[in-house]
Structure 1
Amino acid sequence: MKLNCIAVDDEPLALGLVCSFIERTPFLQLAGRYANAIDALKAIHAGKTDLVYLDIQMPDLNGMELARVIANGPETPRIIFTTAYKQFSLEGYKVDALDYLLKPFNYEEFLRSATKAQAYFELVNKPAAADVEETAYFDSRYLFLKVEYQFVRIALDEILYIEGLKDYIKVHLKNDAKPIMSLTSLKALEEKLSPRRFMRIHRSYIVALDKITAMTKSAVQIGATSIAVGNQYKDEFNRFLGKWL
């Protein structure tokens, strides 16, 4: 399958480079190029867009603002940020961007990011008959998680926390900069994980209890990551917190 892409950047040279990389990649289709986010938003509303290569620092409506509009709208293209400012990486994570390309980047870096997007869309668009297959199974020490077309073994002791996104999960591991992504639901995993080792504290997070390094009544800390406790999970969390006090 080919992914319909648009590129958005107010710098002509940067826009031209991204467009040339898209056209050079066999599984990408350049559907439009825009010098501002407002025109890009009109294009997204007008037709099917799978992937948006999006600069951040732009006049009027910047890339991060556009990403928030997209996230709350009926169309849900995925975003890969292309920016010279690394300080926006955390915000990019919050709007569920697929990747974050830091300028200047070469074609090898672009292709690696595009391949990640391709893998995501293949997971999302797999045949309906495959949807009934098990996406994860367990033994006492390991989680076997379906990643693309194979099951990957993950040691339960290595899991820090599991993050649920729109239609897939990310498993965050010790000593691993990149989380493992799988097309399954947080609810499906919650039903199988042992409540003695894992707890759901938010509609988007399950945490490994033995990896918690600090807690308050409203959040847990796992290393450098702080995760808020959702309102509907506070009663159970407070019972757990009481055992610490």
Structure 2
Amino acid sequence: MIRIAIVEDEINYQEQLIGFLRRFEQDRGENIEIETFTDGDGIVENYNAQFDIILMDVQMRFMDGMSAAEEIRKIDSEVVIIFITNMAQYAIKGYAVDALDYVLKPISYFPFSQRLNRAIDRMKKRESHFITIKIKGGVQRLQVSDIYYIESLGHKIVYSTKEGDFVGSGTMKDLEKELASFHFFRGNKGYLINLEHVDGMNENCAVVKGENLPISRTKRKAFMEALSNYWGEVIK
């Protein structure tokens, strides 16, 4: 069961999205539960992380989609947000609230289905991929998408995650290889950074959850290309 919210104040677009979701449901063989809202404040009120994907109109009468997404992100860091808009420049602003994608009005089924496929793949990837690390006295299982970055400190490996820091053993070379398919990039000898959590760049540092992580001069160009490709992947 995939739980999808449609937040759209124009009834004709709301009905079109419902129709597209039902068609997608048949095409992909998914079971989709749909709930609709006509304004941002409607979904924000009593929100309790009950949705997997939110299709969010940007321009609405009382609370716009960007403001609603900001409020939702305070509660739910996992829900996949796709903006519905007639202005492409909102895609850039969407990075601030970790929006996966955007769909331009007028909406057509093929690009919509592509974005929905990507959203479901991201949702399921988050659910199912873990790594097990060796820690003092035992092992710890970490969800890959919850790892912000990994730091090498002498003979120790420190995992900075949503649940706090974990100190383990191993080598950065092995971790770089293991996590390569999950958008992790080696910013320098000391850091392996999850591009999913990069909020921006500050001079020669990547900004990750308020931390400035240095990117070496020799790695900067490749890092920026990897980051641009990752950001392009989620909005193309």
Percent identity at matched positions?
21
Residues 90-145 of structure 1 deviation map (CA, whole Å, 9 limit, x = unaligned): 11111100111111231111111111111111111116xx4328979748xx9564
1:146-204 residue CA offsets vs partner (Å, 9 max, x unmatched):
537xxx99999xxxx955445xx79xxxxxxxxxxxxxxxxxxxxxxxxxxxx755335
Q: Distance in 1 between matches of 2:184 and 2:41?
A: 44
Alignment partner of 1:132: what SS? strand
Change (3 A) 1:64 1:201: closer
For 1:37, which of 40, 43, 49 is the aligned residue? 40
Question: Retained in 2: the 8 A contact 1:5–1:28?
Answer: no
Shift of 1:209: 2.2
Report the CA distance shift for 1:40/1:48 in structure 2 as closer, same or farther (over 3 A).
same
Q: Cα 1:105–1:162, aligned 2, differ >3 Å: closer, same or farther?
A: farther
Q: TM-score, normalised by structure 2?
A: 0.59
CA–CA separation in structure 2 for the residues paired with 1:146 and 1:56 = 34
Alignment of structure 1 residues 126-137 onto 2, 5 Å: 126=128, 130-132=130-132
Conserved 8 A contact 2:185-2:195: no
Q: Aligned residue for 2:139?
A: none
Q: Which runs of 5+ in 2 are unaligned?
A: 134-141, 145-170, 228-236
Q: 2:208 is matched with which residue? A: 203
AA partner of residue 84 (structure 1): N
AA of the residue aligned to 1:15: Q
Q: Equivalent residue for 1:190?
A: none
What is the aligned length?
175
Q: Conserved in 2, the CA contact under 8 Å of 1:36 and 1:58?
A: yes
Greater shift in the superposed pair: 50-59 or 199-208 = 199-208
Unaligned runs of 5+ in 1: 171-198, 214-221, 226-245
TM-score, normalization: structure 1?
0.57
Query: Match of 2:132, as an amino acid?
Result: V
1:13 is matched with which residue? 12
Q: Distance in 2 between matches of 1:19 and 1:112?
A: 16
Cα RMSD of the aligned pairs, angstroms, is 3.9
Alignment pair present for 1:4 and 2:12: no
1:90 maps to which residue?
A: 92
User: What is the rounded CA distance, in whole Å, between the counterparts of 2:45 and 2:179 in structure 1?
Assistant: 38
Q: Structure 1 residues 74, 83: CA separation in 2 closer, same or farther (over 3 Å shift)?
A: closer
1:147 is matched with which residue?
A: 181
Q: Which has the higher contact order (CA 8 A, sep 6+)?
A: 2
Offset at residue 62 of structure 1 (A)? 0.5
Is 1:64 the counterpart of 2:66 in the alignment?
yes
- SS in structure 1 opposite 2:75? coil
In 2, Cα distance between the equivalents of 1:117 and 1:208?
32
Shift of 1:49: 0.8
Question: Aligned pair in 2 of structure 1 residues 207, 3: CA closer, same or farther (>3 Å)?
Answer: farther
**Structure 1 segment 120-131 matched on structure 2, within 5 A:** 120-126=122-128, 130-131=130-131
Distance 1:58 1:147, change over 3 A: same
Cα drift, residue 40 of structure 1? 1.9
1:28 and 1:62 map into 2 onto residues whose CA distance is 29
Query: Is it true that 1:110 corresponds to 2:112 in the alignment?
Result: yes
TM-fit CA distance, 1:28:
5.6
